[in-house]
Structure 1
Amino acid sequence: MKADTLLQLEQRLIDEAEPFAVVTVIRAAPPTSAWVGAQALVDNDGALHGWIGGGCSRAIVIEAARQAIRSGLPKRVRISNERVAPEADVEAHAMPCASNGAMELFIQPTVPAPSVLVLGSTPTALEACVLAQRVGLRVSAAAHVTAPLAALGLQRVIQGFDADALNGVEPQLILVATQGDSDEDALEAALRSVAAVVLLVASRRKADRLREAMLARGITPARLAALYAPAGPAIHAHTPQEIALGAVAGLVTLRRELEQAAADASASMLAGAETVPVLPPCESIASVELSPARYLNPVCGMAIDIASAKHVIDSQGQRVYFCCDGCKIEFERDPDRYLAIARGTAHKART
Structure 2
Amino acid sequence: MNDDTLLQLEQRLIEASLPFAVTTVIRALPPTSAWVGAQALVEADGALHGWIGGGCSRTIVIQAALEAIRSGQPKLLRISNTLATQEADVEDHAMPCASNGTIELFIQPTVPPPVVLVLGATPTALEACVLAQRMGLRVAAAASVTLPLAALGLQRVIEGFDSAAFALLKPQLVLVATQGDADEQALEAALRSPAAAVLLVASQRKADKLREAMRVRGIEPQRLAALHAPAGPYIHARTPEEIALGAVAGLVALRRSLEQEQAGGALLPGTAGTLPKVRPCESMAPVVPVAPVAPTPARYVNPVCGMAIDIASAKYVVDYGGQRLYFCCDGCKVEFEREPGKYLAIAQGAQQGETT
Letter in 1 for 2:176: V
Q: Any residues of structure 2 matched to 1:212-223 within 5 Å, and which? A: 212-223=212-223
Contact 2:70 2:265 in 1 (8 A): no
Letter in 2 for 1:46: G
SS in 2 for 1:218: coil
State the shift of 1:260 in Å: 1.1
* 1:11 to 2:11 alignment: yes
> Whole-Å Cα distance in 2 between the matches of residues 58 and 265 of structure 1?
22
SS in 2 for 1:223: helix
Query: Could you say which structure has the greater relative contact order, defined with CA pairs below 8 angstroms and 6 or more residues apart?
Result: 1
User: CA offsets, 1:223-251, max 9 Å, x none?
Assistant: 10000001111111111111111110100
Residue 211 (structure 1) aligns with: 211
SS in 2 for 1:14: helix
Unmatched segments (≥5 aa) in structure 2: 267-356
Per the normalisation by structure 2, the TM-score is 0.74
Residue 150 (structure 2) aligns with: 150
| Worse overlay, 159-168 or 186-195 | 159-168
> Whole-Å Cα distance in 2 between the matches of residues 223 and 59 of structure 1?
39
> Whole-Å Cα distance in 2 between the matches of residues 167 and 13 of structure 1?
22
SS in 2 for 1:251: helix
> Whole-Å Cα distance in 2 between the matches of residues 217 and 36 of structure 1?
61
Residue 192 (structure 2) aligns with: 192
State the shift of 1:99 in Å: 1.2
SS in 2 for 1:139: strand
* 1:248 to 2:248 alignment: yes
SS in 1 for 2:169: coil
Residue 100 (structure 2) aligns with: 100
Contact 2:176 2:198 in 1 (8 A): yes
State the shift of 1:4 in Å: 2.0
Q: Any residues of structure 2 matched to 1:25-64 within 5 Å, and which? A: 25-64=25-64
Alignment: residue pair count = 266
> Whole-Å Cα distance in 2 between the matches of residues 219 and 206 of structure 1?
17
> Whole-Å Cα distance in 2 between the matches of residues 250 and 171 of structure 1?
16
* 1:91 to 2:94 alignment: no
> Whole-Å Cα distance in 1 between the matches of residues 146 and 176 of structure 2?
15
Q: What do you get for the CA RMSD once the two structures are aligned?
A: 0.9
User: CA offsets, 1:50-73, max 9 Å, x none?
Assistant: 111111111110111011111111
> Whole-Å Cα distance in 2 between the matches of residues 168 and 127 of structure 1?
25
> Whole-Å Cα distance in 1 between the matches of residues 2 and 244 of structure 2?
45
Runs of 4+ in 1 over 3 A off after TM superposition: none
State the shift of 1:132 in Å: 0.4
Letter in 2 for 1:251: L
> Whole-Å Cα distance in 2 between the matches of residues 66 and 82 of structure 1?
25
User: CA offsets, 1:158-200, max 9 Å, x none?
Assistant: 1111111111211000000000000000000000010000000
> Whole-Å Cα distance in 2 between the matches of residues 248 and 46 of structure 1?
34
> Whole-Å Cα distance in 2 between the matches of residues 262 and 47 of structure 1?
21
Q: Any residues of structure 2 matched to 1:1-351 within 5 Å, and which? A: 1-265=1-265
State the shift of 1:253 in Å: 0.5
> Whole-Å Cα distance in 2 between the matches of residues 92 and 206 of structure 1?
55
Letter in 2 for 1:176: V
> Whole-Å Cα distance in 2 between the matches of residues 107 and 254 of structure 1?
26
Letter in 1 for 2:130: V
Letter in 2 for 1:19: P
SS in 2 for 1:148: helix
SS in 2 for 1:92: strand
Letter in 2 for 1:217: R
Letter in 2 for 1:257: S
> Whole-Å Cα distance in 1 between the matches of residues 67 and 233 of structure 2?
33
> Whole-Å Cα distance in 1 between the matches of residues 86 and 262 of structure 2?
27
State the shift of 1:100 in Å: 1.1
Letter in 2 for 1:230: P
State the shift of 1:10 in Å: 1.1
> Whole-Å Cα distance in 2 between the matches of residues 22 and 16 of structure 1?
16
> Whole-Å Cα distance in 2 between the matches of residues 243 and 125 of structure 1?
9
SS in 2 for 1:181: coil
User: CA offsets, 1:20-65, max 9 Å, x none?
Assistant: 0010101100010111111110001111111111111111101110
Per the normalisation by structure 1, the TM-score is 0.75
Letter in 1 for 2:36: V
